[in-house]
Structure formats: structure tokens, C-alpha cells
């Protein structure tokens, strides 16, 4: 049955053809226009390269890879952290008409093998830190015949990266090779995080990347010399397009942070013009700000709290499209100068024209309102790997908190009869690599991408994502609930609960599996307890009970959590419970903690 159309914005014809037709041709245009400008930078200042120097590295590596036999249609695996060499490798492979793809640094050998098999990769470029993982995968996938090692000295079976650069094919013509790359050639394969099963290889041609680069200019400007901080995994679409392709196409300056544990120190140093992050980091930033405020003298702390409440009142009025009284406007301006601007400066989030975004999953409304109140206009967008990260975005200056904005220019968005969000535009993925049946399940004959997400849309065309279609909880009374909304209430009710998975499908009531934020647990313990076995202590459970209780006050009676089980410290990125980008592997968690779940339900669990 044809889905019901709730909103469409189709203006692809009006999009100016600003960018080159392929990423590598766009790269050469950038070198031509901004060759002497700073292109890449390292946090310690040891690496500072212009775009012309980047080209020299790319050309040398491309010639070397050509000598090794890499040619049009091949695939090359990259297992590198956020560093300049990733840029060189990605562009060098593409310039040969071949396809680079990035492997998450946290993947063990057993999980790398299926990616090599699916991609047909016979060569990998990696750094020493990942050599054991790569060679472990190589034992199971002997077709991986060549390992190019960045630091060299890896012994038999590896080739020194610098030797590859030095020993390029003598007759290699870089510009001719780049010119031969076509828009329908694959720019990359991005493997999904595998939250609902084995990872699938999303094939994105150059035309998809160029579509993103063109459309993004309607709401976010990239410009020469703009400070970009590359820190999210390069195997993820957001980092690939926003922290990699777009800076290349626009002559920005990219600084690389290869250690996410130090990301906020890097932000303070670089002071980026654009900063994206999943909601979890924004939650930690908020908690850090509030912890600092809590240490202020009481009179100043009360003044800050009053200023925050006034600013939140202003945000609420603006969101309701109501006028802000002049007195409140003035009070907020004074509070911003006195309290909030210094906070932004201390974070490193005070660049002119700063854009801050949150994505990957919906952030709790209270979190977004907090950042708006302190002058960081956190924006949420919606897209997915299969849509080349395109979908919805708030128009400039018109962020509607709690939504993911409106359909972007050149993009059609609509809801199916069951509320599933569908997306269509010129940059939709070619398909899942070697999986035509899986492709047909999500991409219909009319070109609509079936996202698997349930959404709503208001009268002004602003979309809201409710939850994953497969994750919606329907309890034994037939009540539909969004687990992510409930989980968001739990993780934002205080500082101890770090992650939450709500259970209740087919049950009489909801329960939750919770992890504890280790940093705040130690801080709480230092204040309340002298002992170490924290998660098992009744004092800890009582403190968590208080946070669950506060969360329940925000939820309807049927949504409330009746029982919970603390299952330990935080699930680590890249673990069996959480993907490298901190997405919950819900089914894996439900299986792992099946006994804990049944204990929470007891006899009622059999109903």
C-alpha cells in the first residue's frame, strides 16, 4: 500500500552545482585554489601540512599502491585512527578508481573477517597498534595478501608504508587517474554498526558524497581555513562526510584527535567552528558544568541557578514563538556575559559562527534546553548511513527543540501509514554490498529508503523520531511505548545512571538494566562511602533508586520502571553490548542478561 505523504520538500533542481563531480576531483580543485593554506594539523604541532603538501603525499601513496596492483574496482581496507595518514590513504585509493573502507579500531579479528570477505579486500593499510587484529583476521582470510604498516618494522608479511610511497609506478599519471574516476564509482563502503545483526556494507558512490556536500550548504557553511576537529570514528558516516569529505572539498583546516578520552582538551585547544557529538558526550559536558557550579560559594551558586532559570524561561518562550519581555532579555544578556560566556570559553566552544550538533540518537529535551540556555544552540539532525547522512535538519535560526528539523532541500521525507520514516533523494546508497535481498527490504522500487524508524511530523513540517520500529515496546495491555524515551529519562535523572535498556514488551510492567557512570560513582563514593565494592552496596542502590524515582515522575504510569537491576559499570564502546559509536546492541543485551530480566519479572515474567 502506498504510504501516506505527510511532508515533502523537493528542490533538487535548485541546488547549484558548486562541487566537482567526484571527491578526488574536488580535492584537486581545493589544491589548485588553496594550495598554500594549512590543510592538516596535529594537536602537538609536529605535523603542519598545506593542501599542496597533502597532494604530494596522496600522489606518492597512490603511485605506490598502483605499483602493488591496486586498480579500478578494487577495495582497500583502512585501519587507522584519526590522523593525517587516513586522509592520504582514503584519497589515494579513490584516485585509482578503487574503494577505501574504514574498519573500527575496536573490532577484534573475528569481526574483521566478515568485512574482508564482504568487501573482497586483498590489501589493508594499518598502524602498528592494530597489527595483531589484522594478522589474526588474515589467518582466517588468507586472500588478504598485503599489509601496509604505517610505522614499518612489522616483520615478515608486512610492507613499510614509506617504502610504498618511495617505490611508486614510474609511469603513473596522478591527474589522468583522478580524471578517470566517475561519479558512479564507489567512494566508500560504510559498514553499519550491527545493532540488529551482522554489519552490512553500505555502498556510497561519489555522487552520494557530492549530493551531501551540496545540500549541506543550505544549513551549514564550510569555508577555507575553517577549524575542523576530526575525532569521531572514521568508519562512521558522520565523521566521514562532516570531518573528512567536506573539509577536503572546501579547503578547511583539519586537526586530528586520535584519543577520544582527551576530546575536550582537544576542543579547548583547537576551538573548532563545527563540533558534532553523540548525546552521551553532551550529557557528560553538562554534568561537568553542573559539578563546577556546585563548588561555587553559595551566594554565587544561587545567582548562577537563578540566571539559568531565567535563561531557560527565555528558551521556553522562544520555542513557543512568544515574545520575550525586555526585562528578561536584558537579564539573560547580563547573565550570559557574566556566567555562560566564560563557560563556553573554558570549553573551547566559542568560535565565531560556531555550530554544535548532536546525532546518532535523540537527545533528551532537557539536555538540549540546557545548552540553548547557556548559549550553545545544540542542533539535532536526522539521517542514516544508507541515506548518506541526509534527511532532516532545522532551518537556520529556527531550531525546534525535540525535533530533528524539516526535510532538507533536495530531499523528500514522508511517513508510511504505520509511522515509519521514508527518505528519497539522489544520494541514497546504491545498496548493501552483496545483499540484494536486504537492499530490497529497505529500498523500494520507487527509490524510497525505509529507515526502520518511527516518527511524527507537526503542522510546520518538523519531524520527531520516536524510536526504532523493531524496538517499540507493546506491553501486555497493548500500550505502545518508546524505550529510548524512557531510557533518556533514566540517564538524565542524575549523574550515576550511565546507560539504560528498558524491557517490557509483552510484560505487565517495565523493568530496566542499568550501568553506572564510573567517574561519578567514584565521586559519589568519595563523598558518601569509604569502601570499594560500590555497585553491590545498598547505599548505591538507594542512590540509583532515587534517580529512577525522579525519572518515573517524568513518565506516565504505564511507562514507569517498577524494578531494575544494576548490571555493573558502563558498557565499553565496541563491546558486545555497545557499538563503537555508543549505540546500544539491544538484542545482544537482552540475551546476555536474560536471567536478570526473568528475575525482575518472577512469576509475572511467564505471562
Q: Coil, strand or helix: which one is 375?
A: coil
Measured CA distances, 11 to 5, 19, 410, 426, 582 (Å): 17, 17, 5, 11, 34
Residues 6+ apart with CB under 8 A from 198: 114
The pLDDT, as a whole number, for residue 332 is: 97
Label residue 458 exposed, middle or buried (CB < 10 Å: 0-12, 13-18, 19+): middle
Helix %, strand %, coil % for the chain, to 5?
40, 20, 40
The domain locations on the chain are 23-181+227-272, 279-468, 473-606
Q: H/E/C letters for each residue in 436-495?
A: HHHHHHHECCCCCEEEEEEEEECCCCCEEEEEECCCCEECCCCCEECHHHHHHHHHCCCC
CA-based R_g, the chain, Å: 25
The pLDDT, as a whole number, for residue 20 is: 67
Q: Coil, strand or helix: which one is 205?
A: strand
Strand extents, DSSP E, 537-594: 561-569
Label residue 260 exposed, middle or buried (CB < 10 Å: 0-12, 13-18, 19+): middle
Give the C-alpha separation, 243 to 237, whole Å.
10
Helix axes 51-67, 23-34, angle to 10 degrees: 140
- DSSP for residue 82: S
Our separate counts of H helices and E strands in the chain read: 22, 26
The pLDDT, as a whole number, for residue 577 is: 85
Give the C-alpha separation, 219 to 408, whole Å.
9
Alpha-carbon torsion (582, 585, 589, 592), positive or negative: negative
Angle, CA of 232, 238 and 240, to the nearest 5°: 80
Look at strands 158-160 and 510-516 and give their pairing: unpaired
The pLDDT, as a whole number, for residue 130 is: 94
Q: pLDDT digits over 39-89, tens only?
A: 999 998 899 999 999 999 999 999 999 999 999 999 999 999 999 999 999
Cα–chain center distance at 123: 27
Give the C-alpha separation, 410 to 389, whole Å.
13
Q: 23-181+227-272 and 279-468: same fold? A: yes
The pLDDT, as a whole number, for residue 586 is: 87
First CA to last CA distance, the chain: 35
pTM, 2 dp: 0.79
DSSP 416-441: -TT-EEEEE-TT---EETT-HHHHHH
- DSSP for residue 245: I
Architecture of domain 473-606: 2-Layer Sandwich (3.30)
The 10 Å Cβ neighbour count of residue 563 is 15
Q: H/E/C letters for each residue in 328-367?
A: HHHHHHHHHHHHHHHHHHHHCCCCCCCEEEECCCCCCHHH
pLDDT along the chain (607 residues), means of 10: 38 42 95 96 93 97 96 96 96 97 91 94 95 93 93 83 92 95 95 71 93 83 94 90 92 94 95 92 92 93 96 96 95 96 97 90 88 96 90 90 92 93 93 94 93 91 86 72 81 84 85 84 65 68 90 84 86 80 84 90 61
Percent of the chain with pLDDT over 70: 93
Residues 6+ apart with CB under 8 A from 142: none
Cross-sheet strand order for the sheet of 497-503 = 497-503, 510-516, 561-569
The pLDDT, as a whole number, for residue 154 is: 73
Residue 517, φ and ψ in degrees, nearest 5: -70, 115
- Name which of 386, 427, 421 is nearest 405 in CA terms: 421
Cell of 364: 533528551
The pLDDT, as a whole number, for residue 460 is: 93
**Scanning the structure block, which residue is given the C-alpha cell 558534532?**
276
Residue 203, φ and ψ in degrees, nearest 5: -90, 115
* Fold adopted by 23-181+227-272: Rossmann fold (3.40.50)
Cell of 284: 557528560
Residues listed for the chain: 607
Cell of 239: 565523521
Give the C-alpha separation, 180 to 159, whole Å.
28
Q: Coil, strand or helix: which one is 177?
A: helix
Cell of 317: 518562550
Residue 349, φ and ψ in degrees, nearest 5: -110, 65
Residue 382, φ and ψ in degrees, nearest 5: -140, 130
**Are 165 and 155 a contacting pair, CB within 8 Å?**
no
**Scanning the structure block, which residue is given the C-alpha cell 561519578?**
520
- CATH number attached to the domain at 279-468: 3.40.50.12780
Cross-sheet strand order for the sheet of 75-79 = 99-102, 75-79, 123-126, 146-149, 158-160
Amino acid at each position: 500500500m502506498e504510504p501516506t505523504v505527510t511532508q515533502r520538500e523537493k528542490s533538487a533542481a535548485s541546488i547549484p552545482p558548486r562541487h566537482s563531480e567526484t571527491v578526488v576531483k574536488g580535492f584537486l580543485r581545493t589544491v589548485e585554489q588553496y594550495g598554500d593554506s594549512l590543510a592538516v594539523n596535529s594537536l602537538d604541532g609536529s605535523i603542519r601540512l598545506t593542501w599542496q603538501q597533502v597532494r604530494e603525499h596522496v600522489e606518492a601513496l597512490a603511485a605506490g599502491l598502483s605499483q602493488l596492483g591496486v586498480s579500478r574496482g578494487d577495495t582497500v581496507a583502512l585501519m587507522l585512527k584519526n590522523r593525517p595518514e587516513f586522509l592520504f590513504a582514503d584519497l589515494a585509493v579513490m584516485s585509482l578508481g578503487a574503494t577505501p573502507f574504514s574498519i573500527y579500531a575496536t573490532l577484534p579479528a573475528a569481526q574483521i573477517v566478515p568485512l574482508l570477505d564482504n568487501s573482497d579486500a586483498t590489501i589493508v593499510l594499518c598502524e602498528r597498534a592494530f597489527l595483531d587484529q589484522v594478522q589474526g583476521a588474515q589467518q582466517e582470510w588468507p586472500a588478504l595478501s598485503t599489509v601496509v604498516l604505517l610505522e614499518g618494522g612489522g616483520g615478515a608479511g608486512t610492507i613499510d608504508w614509506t617504502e610504498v610511497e618511495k617505490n611508486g609506478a614510474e609511469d603513473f599519471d596522478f591527474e589522468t587517474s583522478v580524471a578517470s574516476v566517475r561519479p558512479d564509482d564507489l567512494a566508500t563502503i560504510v559498514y553499519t554498526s550491527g545493532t540488529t545483526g551482522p554489519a552490512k556494507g553500505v555502498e556510497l558512490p561519489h555522487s552520494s558524497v557530492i549530493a551531501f556536500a551540496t545540500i549541506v550548504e543550505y544549513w551549514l557553511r564550510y569555508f577555507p581555513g575553517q577549524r575542523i576537529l576530526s575525532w569521531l570514528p572514521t568508519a562512521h558516516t558522520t565523521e566521514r562526510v562532516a570531518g573528512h569529505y567536506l573539509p577536503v572539498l572546501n579547503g578547511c583546516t583539519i586537526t586530528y584527535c586520535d584519543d577520544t578520552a582527551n576530546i575536550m582538551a582537544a576542543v579547548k585547544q583547537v576551538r573548532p567552528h563545527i563540533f558534532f557529538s553523540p548525546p552521551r558526550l553532551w550529557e557528560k559536558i553538562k554534568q561537568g558544568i553542573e559539578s563546577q557550579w556546585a563548588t561555587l560559594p553559595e551566594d554565587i551558586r544561587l545567582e548562577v541557578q537563578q540566571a539559568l532559570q531565567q535563561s531557560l524561561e527565555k528558551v521556553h518562550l522562544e520555542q513557543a514563538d512568544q515574545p520575550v519581555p525586555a526585562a528578561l532579555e536584558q537579564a539573560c544578556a547580563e547573565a550570559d556575559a557574566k556566567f555562560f560566556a566564560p563557560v563556553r570559553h573554558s570549553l573551547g566552544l566559542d568560535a565565531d559562527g560556531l555550530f554544535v550538533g548532536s546525532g546518532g540518537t535523540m537527545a533528551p529535551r532537557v539536555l538540549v534546553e540546557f545548552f540553548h540556555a547557556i548559549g550553545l544552540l545544540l542542533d539535532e539532525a536526522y539521517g542514516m548511513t544508507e541515506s548518506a547522512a541526509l534527511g532532516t535538519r532545522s532551518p537556520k535560526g529556527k531550531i525546534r527543540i525535540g525535533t530533528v528539523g524539516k526535510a532538507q532541500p533536495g530531499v523528500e521525507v514522508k511517513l508510511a501509514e504505520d509511522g515509519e520514516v521514508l527518505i528519497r533523494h539522489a544520494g541514497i546508497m546504491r545498496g548493501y554490498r552483496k545483499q540484494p535481498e536486504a537492499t530490497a527490504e529497505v529500498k523500494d522500487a520507487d527509490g524510497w529508503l525505509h529507515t526502520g524508524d518511527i516518527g511524527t511530523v507537526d503542522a510546520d513540517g518538523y519531524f520527531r523520531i520516536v524510536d526504532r520500529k523493531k524496538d517499540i515496546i507493546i506491553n501486555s495491555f497493548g500500550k505502545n511505548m518508546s524505550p529510548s524515551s524512557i531510557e533518556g529519562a533514566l540517564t538524565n535523572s542524575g549523574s550515576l545512571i550511565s546507560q539504560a535498556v528498558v524491557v517490557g514488551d509483552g510484560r505487565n510492567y517495565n523493568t530496566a538494566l542499568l550501568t553506572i557512570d564510573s567517574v561519578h560513582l567514584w565521586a559519589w563514593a568519595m563523598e558518601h562511602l569509604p569502601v570499594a565494592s560500590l555497585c553491590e552496596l545498598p547505599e548505591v542502590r538507594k542512590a540509583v533508586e532515587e534517580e529512577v524515582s525522579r525519572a518515573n515522575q517524568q513518565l506516565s504510569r504505564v511507562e514507569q520502571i517498577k524494578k531494575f537491576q544494576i548490571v555493573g559499570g558502563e558498557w565499553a564502546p565496541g563491546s558486545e553490548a555497545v557499538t563503537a559509536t555508543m549505540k546500544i546492541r539491544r538484542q545482544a543485551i537482552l540475551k546476555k542478561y536474560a536471567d536478570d530480566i526473568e528475575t525482575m519479572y518472577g512469576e509475572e515474567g511467564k505471562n
